[in-house]
């Protein structure tokens, strides 16, 4: 096996800028969904990638610390921006034990962890079909 060098090596200054830019990108987090409050879109056992340090928009799925129990993370949909925070709602309002902004009010910006960017587990069933 031979190791090939690029024909035009990247200048060191450009490589340094790239490393600096990548280090400024917040590290994504992963969270597991528990409970039925976000059915049918998210199910218990789904694993999500959450990007921190982004500005949420209405309609985004957000991960936030529960306003009454800081050790608990919640996944809810951002309905709208309220005074000093976000109004977060469940997709499945009839889920047992469901609690969202209808119960505890707007969630302060400081408690918003990040925006859900992808579900990575379980894999979609279409990947297991023959011929795909």
Residues 95-131 as b/e (b if ≥16 CB within 10 A, e otherwise) read: eeebbbbeeeebbeeebbbbbbeebeeeeeeeeeeee
- Extract the tokens encoding 36: 């039925």
Entry pTM: 0.74
Pairwise pLDDT comparison (38 vs 18), residue with the higher score: 38
Q: How far is CA 36 from CA 4, 78, 97, 99, 129, in A?
A: 52, 17, 9, 11, 27
CATH topology of domain 27-122: Umud Fragment, subunit A (2.10.109)
Position 25 confidence tier, pLDDT thresholds 50, 70, 90 = low
Residue 90 or residue 20, greater confidence: 90
pLDDT band at 130 (very low <50, low <70, confident <90, very high): low
Give the pLDDT confidence of 31-71 residue by residue, as tens digits. 999 999 999 999 999 999 999 989 999 999 999 999 999 89
- Domain borders along the chain are 27-122
Residue with tokens 């009010």: 105
The token pair at 100 is 């969202």
104-122, pLDDT tens digit by residue?
Answer: 999 999 999 999 999 998 8
């Amino acid at each position: 096996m031979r190791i090939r060098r690029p024909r035009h090596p990247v200048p060191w200054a450009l490589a340094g800028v790239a490393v600096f830019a990548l280090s400024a990108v917040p590290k994504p987090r992963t969270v597991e969904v528990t409970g039925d409050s976000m059915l049918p879109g998210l199910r218990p056992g789904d694993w999500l990638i959450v990007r921190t340090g982004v500005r949420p928009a209405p309609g985004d799925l957000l991960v936030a610390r529960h306003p009454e129990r800081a050790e608990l993370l919640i996944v809810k949909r951002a309905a709208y921006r309220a005074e000093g925070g976000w109004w977060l709602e469940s997709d499945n309002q009839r889920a047992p034990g469901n609690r969202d902004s209808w119960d505890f009010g707007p969630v302060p910006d400081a408690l918003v962890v990040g925006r859900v960017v992808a579900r990575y587990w379980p894999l979609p069933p279409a990947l297991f079909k023959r011929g795909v």
